[in-house]
Chain A
């Protein structure tokens, strides 16, 4: 089974500091793959290289059999790679409906003729708006879709964060700590959303919430100091003494 997302010998250094060391990550189609590791292990840096925000010092990134290392970030989105951010990176003064519609219009831009794209009102793209609304409904944001994003509660913003990534109908979804800042009790809603994500989407999840990780992932990679320590099934990882020592602590 060929991997849908792959890095080959990925290296990244900032001056003398090596943040990504020879990473060969492989994401299988339909995967629920988690990336864990202590703080500063270089997980977000890795995501940034996958999305093209950062260029690797050497090595390559492959999406669906195509080398995308030189391809700019917005291009990668068209090819089916989408991400969420650890810190809410939203459009403060746009409403959720506008934000998601925007993402969908961007996705569909080659299918919209120039008049529709440039001069006709957004509301004429009613099918796209309906799709945006449906997506927001799925994520329980429908009732808040007409207020400006910055007025939404943190948890709702976190869900909108996901909605924006899903609007692109990605093949691969990179989730950067979706539960960050969400209090223990409220992470259930998030977990439900994660569980109901379409099976066709391959997901790479960075998380610190071990509950979420072990309930969600069928494959886990542990990243330490920019280097891959071990990759395996949840049970293998949980039992691995090296992982315990480095990350889970000696008491587990």
Chain B
């Protein structure tokens, strides 16, 4: 009997160990704090990476955890960006409430569009997400009076945070702002994915038929996660607007959705950090290579995609964890 008890606590402790904040995670976030001190002149770029990482995290929720392939996620990023931008351009300069409204609007958009996703197979869903993204882009393109069209939304003024911290030219306030918001939303997402709800999502991704057969209301769950992911994407978009004080039409572009997908794949899905890692790798590489020659960049991306799909299925973090497994295996063999 006590042997059984011992076994049970072993399983509980196995689960607990996986759910606890690992040292690597703590190092990660502390390193991000360190960036503030170590790279004071690149904080604008660093903020961009963080924002994109947050955006990629929101995609991970629906792609990595729920298994929905979408090529139109930029729609929600763009909606959030424009929502925050329009608010500021029309007189409401407080940043935090701007974030909230952006998240709300994007979330509602996500909620409504989730109903369009319940029918048809994977390809139909892909096309619908693609269509929605392209549609919104056209709308923004045409509604120049509201969105500024191709020239972008001007006159976006953001007030001081808490009335004290103004957004400076070096992006110092912006970086801290983005880092804190990103961390809070990350912690929120992390706790959700480690909860029974997250487990149910993963089971939907693994086998929808069986998930339904054990009683999970699939459409309700998918609508739910899609809404939350849209809201977070919207907040990421709003962060971009607020820190750059500008909204370009590219926030809604297909390129942004496609790039995001690539970033998440590079970093690895369903790890929660894959988005951040992928965004960092992608943006840093793009910064270097695109300046050399934009065609080289595209060519390189193409090669990378082909190599990754044929050989490296689980992205960088997946590859790293497999290396870690191999290492552990080797260590165990050495011991015995």
Contact = CB atoms under 8 A, between A and B. Distances in A.
A168 B215 contact: yes
B contacts with A: majority SS: helix
Given A77-B215, A99-B203, A142-B7, A89 B210 contact: yes
A121 B15 CA distance: 9
Contacts of A129: 8, 11-12, 15
Interface string A133-171: 100010000100110000000000000000011011000
A68 interface: no
A94 B14 contact: no
Contacts of B19: 121-123
B195 A117 contact: yes
A contacts with B: majority SS: helix
A105 B196 contact: yes
Contact of B207 (A74, A89, A137): A89
B207 A164 contact: no
Contact of A74 (B11, B12, B15, B217): B217
Interface residue tally of chain A, by bracket? 35 or more
B25 interface: no
B300 interface: no
Contacts of B14: 146
Contact of B196 (A125, A133, A145): A125
A51 interface: yes
- Residue among B19, B197, B206, B214 facing the most chain A CB atoms (10 A cut-off): B214
Interface string B183-226: 00000000110111111101100110111111111100000000
A146 B13 CA distance: 12
30 contacts: A51-B213, A72-B217, A73-B212, A74-B212, A82-B214, A85-B209, A85-B210, A85-B213, A89-B207, A91-B207, A91-B210, A92-B206, A93-B202, A94-B202, A98-B199, A103-B215, A116-B195, A120-B195, A121-B16, A121-B19, A121-B195, A122-B199, A123-B15, A129-B11, A129-B15, A133-B11, A146-B14, A165-B213, A165-B214, A168-B215
Give the top 8 A-B pairs by smallest Cβ distance, nearest first.
Answer: A77-B215, A91-B206, A105-B196, A123-B15, A121-B19, A103-B214, A89-B210, A123-B16
